[in-house]
Amino acid sequence: MTTFSTAERVEPGGGLINAGHDMGRLRLFSGTSNPELTREIGCYLGVVNGPRVIKRFADGELYIQIQESIRGCDVFLIQPTCAPVNDHLMELLIMVDACRRASARQVTAVVPYYGYARADRKTAGRESITAKLVANLLVKSGVDRVLAMDLHSAQIQGYFDIPCDHIYGSPVMVDYLSSRQLEQVVVVSPDVGGVARARAFAKQMHDAPLAIIDKRRSGHNVAESLTVIGDVAGKTAILIDDMIDTGGTICQGAKLLRQRGAAKVLACATHAVFSPPAIERLSEPGLFEEVVVTNSIPLPSQRRFPQLRVLSVANMLGEAIWRIHQESSVSSMFR
């Protein structure tokens, strides 16, 4: 289990120590996008996931009902807005509205994966900034606070006119990689835009050296890797990114690292979006030693492959939820 520095601990599997608030006032509810993650979070906190009904009418409209009293409660709605993004986003908005109308004291949207995060700025004329639009929708729906993990860009946190706690999946991955006792590690950013993320990860990996892949895009979901800045020959290269979508960027990067003499190549990303043809690319024999992701997005068995390793972020999210409920520091988890 990933551990965090704190004077107040949650016992794994349930039971709060030094809890200042009434835990009977904390409620967890899951949407349909990742109920297993909600179950794991509930096990960590010792809180039973709340009953709710989510169904569709014949015309496709959603119906949601919270099936217990939440008057005066701190409600945490756990819903990554992964594919189908629009359905899961709308489901979250309706859940928020239902909780507001049920007189919840505070509603927190726990969004392990924030859909539309890549549309965070205008790159051409007449484009929308959809990441900001989604933030506006959540605020207008009645959310009091957002808990997100590994947002695609840091500025998205500022898109919210309400508190937004931003946590990271890297401690879980660092714990796992440290247990592997890898030798001669070099952390690699798959593009210049990810250097800050890779540098922070390298620092957590006992100040491992850093390399950068110079990459240029010729279109959406199309990437061309050009060269490697840094020494990777004979080393274990760890490619780090916030998400893997079609796998084009990270797979081209891995091939380039192999050409430059890397002994092993591992890929690490918090969000396993895995749009086609990601599975075929990532499972190519001899390319990756391992592909390490988290369960922020559910991965059914048909989307898994031999090199894949899925790590749970339930304990980390559970810790953050508890700290929000206790009105204590979330950022100190990562010090």
**What positions carry a catalytic annotation?**
215
| Closest residue by Cα to residue 255 from 166, 322, 190 | 190
User: Using CA atoms, how far apart are residues 93 and 137, in angstroms rounded to an integer?
Assistant: 8
| E strands in the chain | 26-30, 52-56, 62-66, 74-78, 106-111, 145-149, 164-167, 185-189, 210-219, 222-229, 236-244, 264-272, 290-294, 308-311
Helix 130-141 vs helix 85-101: crossing angle, to nearest 10: 20
The gap from C-alpha 195 to its chain's centroid, in whole angstroms, comes to 18
Spatial separation of the C-alpha atoms in residues 227 and 233, rounded to whole Å: 14
3-state DSSP assignment of residue 49: strand
Q: Name the amino acid, one letter, at 145.
A: R
Q: What is the Cα–Cα distance from 135 to 158, expressed in whole angstroms?
A: 9
Helix axes 170-180, 195-204, angle to 10 degrees: 50
* Dist. CA 122–CA 155, nearest whole Å: 13
Report the half-sphere exposure of 181 (CA within 13 A, side-chain side).
Answer: 0
Euclidean distance between CA atoms 56 and 139, whole angstroms: 24
Q: Which residue has the tokens 């709340």?
A: 50
Residue 17: which H helix or E strand, with range?
none
Report the DSSP beta bridge partners of residue 294. 311
